[in-house]
Amino acid sequence: MVSLAVAKSIENMEISHNVVHGQWDWMNDPEIHSTTWEWDMAGVMSQWRYSHNYRHHVYANVVDLDDDLGFGIMRVTRDVPWRPRNLMQPLRNALLAVIFEWGIALHGLHSEHERAANAEERAASTKAFKAKIKRQVIKDYLLIPALNGPRWRRALTANVAANILRNLWAYTVIFCGHFPDGVSTFTREAVEQESKGEWYLRQMLGSANFTAGRVLAFMSGNLCYQIEHHLFPDLPSNRYAAIAPRVRALCDAHRLPYITGPLLRQFLQTQRTIWKLALPDRSATKVDARI
């Protein structure tokens, strides 16, 4: 079960995420290309590619433009007005962590529906979404257990547990790269006449790293270097460690924050923000992040 969870995490973080960013398109291998790759997750890769590569990376941390800013179910910045439904976000947060692949799948479908020009395009997106879910459920929860014969219950349990563990890990890595203390958010007005230099600055201010050795970096798809990833999303991820010192030196030279720290600290700060921003602003304290 543990080895299967590790394999699924590597497939998701180190392989699929980076392949679909086009990091390995230069090899011209049709099987490892951003336009043809499909991942071992519930969502449709092409739908996620639009919501992530475009909506998130181009408009990183811009309120009402970046759909990943709270994933549509949580308030993670005070730039978003508090609503009574936010009281439920600690529960939503815990549920999202467990079923993260399904949240990402629905997230991609929602973005695809938003950009659809007509009802036919929305219906086509929904059909592709349902077909992918069907294939994924049959593979993980019917076919593979059936191939194990009398040990089908053990195989089914292992697949369920491995998917949950992969979901928890992917959630942790992604949230620690975007919502710790000190990460900035932006309004629509800030990007209306944004220059290329200002775009790079926003990527740096809107991301966070966490410290990691080689094994942890590999298991996170090198997203421990989230700042570098947002600056150069199509750069092969195994080069982030090499450019990170130069990025940090640039930040120091211009007195810009380079947000990083131990994974546990980044995770706890993120959880504190989610819990605190579930409450009305008057209930929050000035030590909170993202004020």
DSSP state letters, 118-152: SHHHHHHHHHHHHHHHHHHHHIIIIIHHHHTGGGH
Cα distance between residue 89 and residue 285, in whole Å: 18
**For residue 65, what is the DSSP state?**
T
Looking at residue 67, what is its pLDDT? 86
Distance of alpha carbon 256 from alpha carbon 228, whole angstroms: 14
Q: Of 206, 253, 260, whose CA–CA distance to 231 is shortest?
A: 206
* Residues 20, 34 contacting (CB under 8 angstroms): yes
Residue 258 neighbours by CB distance under 10 Å: 18
Residue 286: what pLDDT? 39
pLDDT value, residue 5? 94
Provide the whole-model pTM: 0.92
Predicted pLDDT at 234: 95
pLDDT of residue 72: 84
C-alpha to C-alpha distance for 49 and 56, rounded to whole angstroms: 10
Q: What is the pLDDT of residue 290?
A: 52
* Domain residue limits, the chain: 2-283
The CA distance from 54 to 59, in Å, is 8
User: pLDDT value at position 284?
Assistant: 47
| pLDDT value for 278 | 95
Per-residue pLDDT of the chain (291 residues; tens, 9 = 90+): 889 999 999 999 999 999 999 999 999 999 899 999 999 999 999 999 999 999 999 999 999 999 889 888 899 999 899 999 999 999 999 999 999 999 999 999 998 998 898 999 999 999 999 999 999 999 999 999 999 999 999 999 999 999 999 999 999 999 999 999 999 999 999 898 999 999 999 999 999 999 999 999 999 999 999 999 999 999 999 999 999 999 999 999 999 999 999 999 999 999 999 999 999 987 544 344 454
What pLDDT, on a 0 to 100 scale, did the predictor assign at position 71? 87
